[in-house]
Structure 1
C-alpha cells in the first residue's frame, strides 16, 4: 500500500554557514565540524546549550561517530543521528531533523557535516570505502570513482548523443559561478577550449570532469517557523523532500537515479512543478550525473538533458541558474560536507543571504543529492524543495 507522506509545514531552515574550503588541512574532521557548527550558532545568536538535536555527516571522523562527537563538543542532545551517506547526506539529514521538530523530539537541530583532507586522506578513504569495492574493483587494479564514472559517461554518450562539449558547458558555467564565491577552491576562469584540451584521466573523462577533494565544513539549523520568528531569524521553508536507496538495482548500468521512483510524490507535496523552480543545485561529482538529475527530476525527458542545456544559460544571471556556488566541480568536494554544499547554498539563496552568488528574485530552489558510489552505482538519492520564508 502506498501512503502519501505528510507535509513538512511549519519547518524552518536557518543560519547556513560554510567553513571556507581548503585543498589540504592538518586539522581533524572534528575541527572542521566544530568550526561550521560554531559559525551557524553565531549566525543565529544561539549557544551550544540551546541545541537539543544534532545530526552529523563525515567520512573522516573515524573512529568517532556522532555519539563521540557530542563529548568532544560538550553537547547533550535529546535527539541524535549519524548520516554517513556522502552526497545524499544533507537531504537525508534534513528530512530526519524536520520530522524530529514536527514530532516534538527536538526544538533546534544542527545539521552539520565536515571532513579533513590530509595528504593521504583520499587514498585511505578509498582503501576501505565499501566491501563491494574491495571485492570487485580493487583486485583488478583500480579504486575510486574515476573508472566507474568513465564507463557510465561513455555509455550515456553512446545512448543519448551527449558530447564532451555538453559536459564542458556545465563545468565552464560552474567555474564562472565559483569566481563570485569567495570560498571556492577554484579561482581561475575556465574556457570551453581549456576544458576540451585538458589531460585525460579515464577516457572519456578528463581533468575538469573530476571534483577536487578538499577539506571543509557546512552547517544549518532546523527549527519550527514559530521559533525562527520569535528569534527574528531569516529562514527558508521546507516544501517537499524525498529519499530512495538502492533503486533500479536491475539496471545493468546506472543511467537513472532513485529520484525517478518518488518524483511525482515530490512535486505533489511541493504543490509546484519544474517550471516554478528559480535555481537548481544538483550533486555534481561528475557532469554526467548533473545531466541525469536534470532529466530524472523532470526538467526535460530522459536523454534530452544535453540538448536542454545547449539552449540555456546555467550561470547565476542566466535563465537556468545551476550550482550557483560553483558546485563541487569548482568550489571543491569536502567529503561528506560536499553533499551539503548545494543545500546550504539554496538556503542562502531563498533567504537573500547569498552575496555575490545571489540569483535575483530567487524564491524557490530544488536541491538533489546522490551518494555512496558502491562499486558500480550510487546507492543513495534525495531531493528537497525550499521556498522563501522570511528574508534577511
Structure 2
C-alpha cells in the first residue's frame, strides 16, 4: 500500500531570511520582493523560472497571493495563499510538495512576509477573527497576551509546570540566539532575569512574549533533479501532518491538533523522536513549546515538567531547540514567524545555519501553530525533514 504521507521526488532547498527590523516604513510587498530577490541571488533563478508561488502574510491586505504575483512580476501556473499564521510554514511545504509531486509546478517559491508599523498590531487585532470581535473585545478583553495567560495558567495547574520550567526554555533559546547575527534579542538572559521580569498578564511575564517586527522568510520546493542542476543542497520530506479545529470541546486548550495525527507522522517517517537532531517548534509563548513537546511524542502527556528539567535544549545539548533563538529571541515577523522554524530547520540539516551548527545534524522536526481565536489556536502542523547530503 502506498504511504499517503510520502512526498516522493520532492526537494526543499534555498532557505533565505530577510533580516528583521523592529519597525519598518516599507510595505509588505517590499519585504516579499526582498525575499524573492534573496531566492534569486541564492539560486540564479529569475522571475520566469518560478512556476509556483505560495504566500503567507497578515499585512498584505487588500492583496492576497493574487495581487502579490503582479507586484513581483511572476506568472505562475500554480498559486496558493496560506492564511494560517504560525502553521503556514509547514502547510506551505505540504501544498507545494504535492504540487511538485503531481506535476502542477516544478519550482515553487514559498514566501512569508509582513511589515510592522507602530499601529500594525492594533489594526491586526481589530480584524483578526469574528470570534474575537463578537465574544471578547466588547467586554474589554482581547489580544494574545490575555488569551495565552489563560492557557498558561490552566496548563501549569493541570500538569505541574512552573515558571522556572518555562524559563529554562526561554533561557536556552536566548543562548542559541547569541550566535545568530540576525536575532533581534541577543543580550544574555539568565533564569533570574526571566523570573524577575515584570508581569504582562499574569502568569505571562515579559520574556514569555515575542517581539513583533518586520521581516520575511522563504524557501524553494522543487524536484531533486532541478535542485542538483542548480547546485543546491536539499532535503526531503519524510512525513508531514496538519489538523484544524482539533478538540473543540476541550474547555481549555491543553493539547493541539498534533496529538490527533502524531502516530501517523512517526510511522510514516519510519523513525522515532530520539532520531531528531534539531527541534524547531512555533514559540509565540513557552507554554506552546511545552505543549508541542508532549503532543509530538517527545514525552508522555502530563510529564513535560520532568522532561524539561531532565533535558538540555541548547545547540550543544540533548535536544537542540529553536536553534536560531526562535521567535522569543529572533523576533516574530508576522506570518514569517511561521516560516522561521522551517528555514532554520533546513539550514541546520543542510549545514548552513545562521549561527552555530548542531553537530552532525541530519533530521529536523518543524512544527507550527497558528490562528489563535479568543480561546485557542485552531491550526497545527508538523513535518520531519531529512538532509539529502
Note the 1:121-270 alignment, pairs <5 A.
Answer: 121-270=120-269
Q: What SS does the aligned partner of 2:240 have?
A: strand
Structure 1 unaligned regions, length at least 5: none
Deviations 1:201-230 (A, max 9, x none): 111110000111000100000001111112
- Which consecutive segments of 4 or more residues in structure 1 shift more than 2 A? none
**What is the CA-CA distance between 1:355 and the residue it aligns to?**
4.5
**Offset, 1:40:** 1.6
* Superimposed CA distance per residue, residues 37-74 of structure 1 (whole angstroms, 9 cap, x where no aligned partner): 21022111211111000000000000001000111011
Mapped contact 2:145–2:201 kept (Cα < 8 A): yes
The alpha carbon displacement at 1:356 in A equals: 2.2
Whether the aligned pair in 1 keeps the contact of 2:324 and 2:355 (CA below 8 Å) is: no
* Partner residue, 1:69: 68
The aligned runs of 1:1-12 (5 Å cut-off) are: 5-12=4-11
SS class of match (2:34): helix
Measure, in 2, the Cα distance between the counterparts of 1:249 and 1:378: 10
User: Secondary structure of the equivalent of 1:330?
Assistant: helix
Secondary structure class of the residue paired with 1:113: strand
- Does residue 1:39 correspond to 2:38, yes or no? yes
- Specify the SS of the correspondent of 1:369: strand
TM-score by length of 2: 0.98
Distance 1:290 1:298 in 2: 13
Residue 21 of structure 1 is matched in structure 2 by: 20
Q: In structure 2, what is the Cα distance between the partners aligned to 1:224 and 1:306?
A: 42
Aligned counterparts of 1:139 and 1:158: Cα–Cα separation in 2? 28
CA distance in 2, matches of 1:334, 1:356: 19
What's the Cα RMSD here?
1.2
Q: Which runs of 5+ in 2 are unaligned?
A: none
Separation (CA, whole Å) in 1 of partners of 2:239 and 2:351: 20
Could you say if the C-alpha distance between residues 73 and 333 of structure 1 is closer, same or farther in structure 2, counting changes exceeding 3 Å? Answer: same
Aligned equivalents of 1:329, 1:364: Cα separation in 2? 23
Taking structure 1 as the reference length, what is the TM-score of the superposition? 0.98
Name the CA distance, whole Å, in 1 between partners of 2:305 and 2:292.
12
Distance 1:14 1:140 in 2: 47
| Partner Cα separation in structure 1 for residue 81 and residue 354 of structure 2 | 31
8 Å Cα contact 1:15/1:41 also seen in 2: no
Is 1:54–1:110's contact at 8 Å kept on the other side of the alignment? yes
Q: Distance in 1 between matches of 2:9 and 2:152?
A: 41
* Partner secondary structure for residue 357 of structure 1: coil
- Deviation string, structure 1 residues 331-361 (Cα, Å, up to 9, x no partner): 0000000000000001101110114231110
Q: Does the Cα contact within 8 Å between 2:88 and 2:339 map onto a contact in 1? A: yes
Indicate conservation of the 8 Å contact 1:9/1:239, yes or no: no
CA distance in 2, matches of 1:142, 1:244: 27
The 8 Å contact of residues 282 and 367 in structure 2, kept in 1 or not, is answered as yes
